[in-house]
Amino acid sequence: MKSSLGWRSVGILFCLSVIVGRIWCLTTTCSQLTAVVCFEIANAYCDMYAGRCRCKVGYFEDGNRCHSELGSPCSNRGEPCASIMGSLCHPVESVCRCSAGRRQLNLNTCSQLAEEKLQLNPTLSNVTYVKQLNEVIKPSHIEAIKDLDVKSVFTHWLKRMSKIFIQRSAVGSKCSVNTPCLVKYSQCSELGLCECQYGFYHRNGKCSPGLGNACILPGRQCYNIPNSNCAESHICSCKHGYRQVIDHCEPTVSFQSKQKSQRFTITPVNLVLCKTNCPIEHATCVRGSCQCLAGYKVVEDKCISAGVGEFANCTYDWDCEQKNSQCVDKQCQCTPGYILIIDRCLPSNFHASNLAVGSVCSETLPCGVPYSYCGADFRCRCYDGYVADNSECVEIQTQQDEAVMPFV
């Protein structure tokens, strides 16, 4: 429904119609490449950490518009500030302030000053409050002498309830449409569990922006990530001389090229950008960056089997991540009765026909063809960027395939 003011209702939100057929909201998702959508909303910008449009400093969100806060500049001199009852744009200073007879409670609220002061009458046994005109008022459970007391009680209650709700929706807890995840930058996964959004890491009960995520100030260290740097592309990476290890930066392992005397720095797999296909073996392109396939883990600039074999070092049996494997001579090996097929320990009587794409699979009978996985229909499927060819998964060849390694 569109009103005469040029606004249209979208659910319970109201969005500004800028272009015919297109609606811009403060809840609109944005990124470095699409940040311009936020500029269509006055006094808004693209918060790349949150991935959505937000109001600039000095403005607050109301009805999907950004209005001046009390104490912030305004342009409508002598008129009320938008969305702040009892406010006025100062005719000389051009600053939003509370009008006469009102006082500021917070950045967007002006409270009416009481004409009659309230005082406590100690002679009444039921502890009632009496106006100076002797009109008796019995207090409710949150009534107080001053507005400040009411605000304090409400703030305390709000913090306590927020803490309870956040504890019930912490990362790793169950979630649904009716019980959403409340931790900032978290989301409800397909498994019905709260998890951090892509590009964020779980730290001390919070989802913090991590390496590979968007950052705001190029040339500066990324927030809360030592030895990191915000690149010109507004992507957080480890600074020169350091490499990514899970979610932090450690000193880089450098080597001399046998063909050249140049000094190279290893670029971690997940910092290699791609468009469609990833040039790294046992990796696929996910959301613009290379990611190791299931059953493989990042080791420097390669994807190495996380299960068994030469690179699966161990000390104890529980160090071996692959099912049906054990630690033998400090290497993960298949347990008796199982054999190594590709990168998995499968029953020794496992038939080669079960490796084919399209064959029946399960948790105990996984797909063995490289670049394949067991789909929701319990059939072997190829990963994105690969197609089935003679019961195998082969990479899709396009002219646009390109890998970008900006962090070397």
List helix spans (H) across 145-300.
147-168
- pLDDT at residue 103 in the model: 82
Q: Where are the beta strands (DSSP E) in 71-197?
A: 87-89, 96-98, 102-106, 109-112, 118-120, 129-131, 136-137, 186-188, 194-196
pLDDT, tens digit (0-9, with 9 covering 90-100), for 229-249: 887 767 777 887 787 776 678
Q: Is the pLDDT of residue 131 over 70?
A: no
Separation of alpha carbons 171 and 194, rounded Å: 5
pLDDT, tens digit (0-9, with 9 covering 90-100), for 267-317: 677 777 777 777 777 788 877 778 887 667 777 777 766 665 555 667 777
Q: Mean pLDDT throughout 206-229?
A: 75
- pLDDT at residue 120 in the model: 38
Quick one: which H or E segment has residue 372?
Answer: strand 372-374
More confident residue, 10 or 65: 65
Q: Is the pLDDT of residue 190 over 70?
A: yes
pLDDT, tens digit (0-9, with 9 covering 90-100), for 62-100: 777 888 888 888 888 888 888 888 898 988 888 888 888
Q: Answer positive or negative: Cα dihedral of 308, 310, 311, 312.
A: positive
- pLDDT at residue 17 in the model: 38
Helix, strand counts (H, E) of the chain = 2, 38
Q: What does the block give as tokens for 205? A: 């009960």
Q: Mean pLDDT throughout 131-135?
A: 35
- pLDDT at residue 19 in the model: 37
Any idea what DSSP says for residue 164?
Answer: H
- Mean pLDDT over the full length of the chain: 68
